[in-house]
Amino acid sequence: MTKIFTCLLTVVLLALASSLASAHDPSPLQDFCVAVNNPNSAVFVNGKFCKDPKLTTVDDFIFMGLDAPRSTLNQLGSNVTLVNVDMFPGLNTLGIALARVDYAPYGLNPPHIHPRATELLTVIEGTLLVGFVTSNPDNRLFTKVLNKGDIFVFPIGLIHFQFNIGKTNAVAFSSLDNQNPGLITIANATFGSNPPINPYVLAKAFQLNKSVINYLQQKF
Q: What is the C-alpha to C-alpha distance for residues 219 and 212, in angstroms, rounded to an integer?
A: 11
| Nearest CA-CA partner of 110 in 187, 40, 176 | 187
Residue 160 is assigned to a ligand binding site: yes
Q: Which residues of 192-208 are buried (b: 16+ CB within 10 A; e: fewer)?
A: eeeeeeebeebbeeeee
**Long-range CB contacts (within 8 A, 24+) of 49-54:** 50/92, 50/93, 51/89
Q: Report the candidate in 25, 45, 41 with the shortest Cα–Cα distance to residue 33.
A: 45
Rounded to the nearest angstrom, the gap between the alpha carbon of residue 65 and the centroid of all alpha carbons in its chain is 21
Cβ neighbours for 219, distance < 8 A, ≥ 6 positions apart: 191
Q: Tell whether 24 is in a known binding site.
A: no
Q: What CA–CA distance (Å, rounded) separates 202 from 198?
A: 7
Q: Distance (Å, rounded) from C-alpha 63 to C-alpha 99? A: 12
CB 49 within 8 A of CB 66: no
Cα–Cα distance, 118 to 34 (Å, whole number):
25
Which segments are annotated as binding site for Mn(2+)? 112, 114, 119, 160
Residues belonging to the binding site are: 109, 112, 114, 119, 160
Give binding residues for oxalate as ranges: 109, 114, 119
